[in-house]
Amino acid sequence: MKTHAKATTATERLVDRLFLCAAAFPLFLLLALVLGLSMAKPAKADEIVCSGTNLLTELAAENPAALEEVRRQAAETPNGSGLLWRVGKEGVAPSYLFGTMHMSDPRVVTLPRDAREAFDGAERVVIETTDILDQSKMAAAMFKRPDLMMFTGKETLGDHLDEAEREAVADALKARGIPFASVKKMKPWMLISLVALPVCEIERKEAGMPILDIKLAEDAQNAGKELLGLETAVEQLDAMASLPMEMHVRGLVETLALGDGLNDVMETMVSLYAEGETGMFWPLIRVAIPEQQGASGDYAAFDRAMVKARNGTMAERARPILNEGNAFIAVGALHLPGEEGLIELLRADGYTVEGVR
């Protein structure tokens, strides 16, 4: 397999980093509980500081025309601005659809006032999967499908790396205190879930600060609300496993190569999320896609398997919940915008969907 060429401009670096992190975080949401990432000494919540900078500032300085084109396309993306949407149907109490980010950053987990009011007033709360709340249940499910996490037989990760890539991966893992030999049987998406977050996010987890989705679920349970899920952990991992192995390997190599750049990625993503700019992601891909081995196919495959296909499943399973009314449905923000996003799918089913924020 050829080595994935390095991006050379701010635009290309930004796209590569955002894509890789978006591919990793749906897994981290599921896998962090199983893998139990830990620091030597948990930091106090008020001592945790992230050091990243917003890469869009760099892009604006180096290639303002590209950024302008990204913003133009984002403005044309259906439902590409806003996190909270009111879902209505005649004769039924309205429900709300809310886009989340699977992180514990205070800017993410602190709900805007309108979203908090919608959550507080809901009778039932729906997240992507409730499996993340029960480690034993999730571990049992994974035990039944070890192929979703590990190579079986004699196959190892090294079989999918050329010599240069294997050396680079081994060195990067060693720098993180992970011997290559100890993880060579792991599927690459498992390894990405181990290394794709900056230290500050892991420290927050160790300090007991939940990611937004888990916080919403726990708040719902504490308030006596009905808690439901739209998918299972196995279904989410199946979707990830359906993508080409070569794509996952490229993702692992590039993620490890980022090093401290992950801090900048996280700051960029959190800033876009806090502004409700859900429509910015794919325009960044389309405008700034690097001319690299397999890159365009990777983006398209990810969009089909991890976004559009799951959108259809989520919409189908949300219908009976919406028909009861008074629900607060929280899913990853990437599932909301676009012609095949959840909002348009629900409108096609006859629901009225209007932006609140």
- List the Cα angle 299/300/305 in 5-degree steps: 100
Q: Per mean pLDDT, which range of 40-49, 119-128, 199-208, 233-242 is the poorest?
A: 40-49
Banded model confidence at residue 12, pLDDT cuts 50, 70, 90: low
Provide the pLDDT for residue 286.
67
Task: Give the pTM.
Answer: 0.86
Phi and psi based region of residue 325 (left: phi greater than 0; alpha: psi -120 to 50; beta: remaining)? left
What's the pLDDT tens digit per position in 304-329? 888 999 999 999 999 999 999 999 99
> Residue 175 is which amino acid?
A
Greater pLDDT, 15 or 80: 80
Q: Which contacts (CB < 8 Å, 24+ apart) does range 317-324 have? A: 317/230, 317/231, 318/126, 318/230, 318/342, 318/346, 319/349, 321/95, 321/124, 321/126, 321/228, 322/87, 322/89, 322/92, 322/95, 322/346, 322/351, 323/89, 323/92, 324/92, 324/124
CA atoms of 56 and 40, how far apart (whole Å): 34
Dump pLDDT digits (tens) for 71-120.
999 999 999 999 999 999 999 999 999 999 988 999 999 999 999 999 99
The proportion of the chain whose per-residue pLDDT surpasses 90, expressed as a percent, equals 48
Tell me the pLDDT tens digit for each residue of 233-285.
889 888 888 989 988 898 888 888 877 777 887 888 889 999 999 998 878 76
